[in-house]
Amino acid sequence: MQPVDFTTLTAASSDLRANWLPSRIEQVYQRDRYTIALALRTLKGRGWLTVSWHPQAARLCIGNPPPRTPDTFTFSQQLRHQLGGLALIAIEQIAPWERVLDFQFGRRPGEPPLWHLYLEIMGKYSNVILADADNLIITAAHQVSPQQSSVRPILTGQPYEIPPVLTDPIPSSIESQQRWQERVSLVPGKIGRSLLKNYRGLSSSLVQSMVAAAGLEADRSTETLTPSDWQGLFVKWQEWLRVLEESKFQFGWIGKDLTDRPLSLQGKESGQKSDSIRYEGYTVLGWGAIEPAKDIHTLLERYYTEELDRQEFSQLRHQLSQKLNSILGKLRVKGQTFAERLQQSDGADLYRQQADLLMAHLQEWEPGLKSITLPDFNTENPVTIPLDPEKNAVQNAQALYKRHQKLKRARAAVEPLLAEVKAEIDYLEQVEATVSQLEIYTTSEDLQALAEIREELIQQRYLEELEYSRANKNDEESHPYRFRTPSGFELLIGRNNRQNDRLTFRVAGDYDLWFHTQEIPGSHVLLRLEPGAVPDEADLQFTADLAAYYSRSRQSDRVPVVYTEPKYVYKPKGAKPGVAIYKQERVIWGCPPQAIKYITQSDQN
């Protein structure tokens, strides 16, 4: 993930000074443990200032409004109490070339600030600190004890101290090329690393784009550079410094990453644009940009929102997969135990038969016998019955009758338990198949679909609320996959059990057709039809192929798919989400490899 460097922070703060000063603080909301949003009101309008101290995505930009969920964080409550109703009157750097901004708040512009909100953009050491007019710390997003840092503890009631001063030389536009070149090439090494080691205010992404803009490679040794190479690089160096001085930034996206796009990406689903592509990074200097961005705030908001969502998607998917795998493993062992006990109870009738034979041939018993062989009632075949030599014939028969009754009682008790375990396994396998289909993050819909699966497992008591606590970013429900059949009929495919139930029991109309893989965990698929419309064989096959693809048998060549009218699909009383039974179904064979072609074509269109 590309971090916010000094250049990007300068671009963001420059725009804020130009367009959002002065402004009144109307509201403070903490989105998560690393991000707060300040509602700013100016004469021109209202906006939400996102301030984040995330260790990988610390940033500053005008972003989207926060969700409507309650804010229960203590840090935001303290900020709301101190800053509410005041004006943001200034945004200053605490020192040249430092990535620390001082947001100053007062009653009105021109008066001395009453509060200072320090935003420190320093990677994993990022922080947000509120200090009063005397620079005493009132609260901090992350307090640092003396045990954690003897250099710079951050504690309530202590004076605010700026971070340790950097010792690297400060870049200067008046420095000559000769002096600059001597400094960079003093110790031979890779040109990119040499620039980073010899000057402050640089970042890896900035150096790479600067070197690339000069037509060089960052890992090229300084010893191999020609005078023209040095001249071209110095021109870009000067261009960078000039942009910082004049605040004439150019915002754009760098590189489209197409390597991890899954085949299940739908270009027209849920209102998403077909050009929703992951970019490798961004630039505020215009170097290497393949597409311009509207402004710095749109650039930062989209990039970090998508990157954090992608990161959270991967973590949540891994957590859900691990949890489901663990629960299913235990259930399968439990089911195997019940099955073995049932198998043992299959011999119950044998013990009763032996007891009947023994009672019918009491005269053949002799004291001390350890076994006796008697003819079967029906086949006359010899049956050997083990005996307890310390018991008489009647006592041995009674013991066999008791064993028969015990095994019968065990079957009556175990059969419903085994059925319950099997139903539970079927349900969790359906959830597991849904999670496995959400392979890679492409849009916010994917994360929302996973979050809904997590909420479902919490409601079903497979997960604990605290285990995956996360504020919902989107108040709306996620949407199903959408396709068009060859005849133009709309096709809806559920992403999770919540969507499956919604499609089957709420959205489905009298004229639609309902599809599902036969006895295989998979998505509910709905073919929408107008009154009097009749789908062609191509439409049915198209739907069956996609139903097979969005199932646990995605890797198979042919998969049986059933389809019927929605009125013949029922949900058993008390059944878990996504569970449905059907009748009057017809079977058609789906081809998952063929569905891949449909998905690819839909994405291209």
- Report the greatest alpha carbon distance in the chain: 122
Q: What is the mean pLDDT of residues 351-358?
A: 85
- What is the rounded (10 degree) CA torsion for 583, 584, 589, 592? -40
Q: What is the mean pLDDT of residues 322-336?
A: 94
Report the run of H or E that residue 559 belongs to, with start and end: strand 559-564
- What are the structure tokens assigned to 396, written together? 């041995």
Q: Is the pLDDT of residue 262 over 50?
A: no
Q: Which residue carries 């040109």 as its tokens?
A: 191
pLDDT confidence of residue 275: 43
pLDDT confidence of residue 151: 85
Whole-prediction pTM: 0.81
pLDDT confidence of residue 276: 52
Distance CA(115)–CA(167), nearest Å, equals 29
Percent of the chain exceeding pLDDT 90 equals 69
- Neighbouring residues of 489: CB distance < 8 A, sequence distance ≥ 6: 527, 528, 529, 533, 535, 539
pLDDT confidence of residue 602: 59
pLDDT confidence of residue 259: 44
CA distances from 600 to 190, 262, 271, 493, 558 (A): 42, 10, 18, 16, 19
pLDDT confidence of residue 270: 37
Instruction: Give the number of other Cβ atoms within 10 Å of residue 376's Cβ.
Output: 11
Domains and CATH numbers, the chain: 6-140 (2.30.310.10), 177-249 (1.10.8), 342-423 (no CATH), 481-604 (no CATH)
Q: What does pLDDT average to over the chain?
A: 89
Minimum mean pLDDT range among 111-125, 191-205, 311-325, 345-359 = 345-359
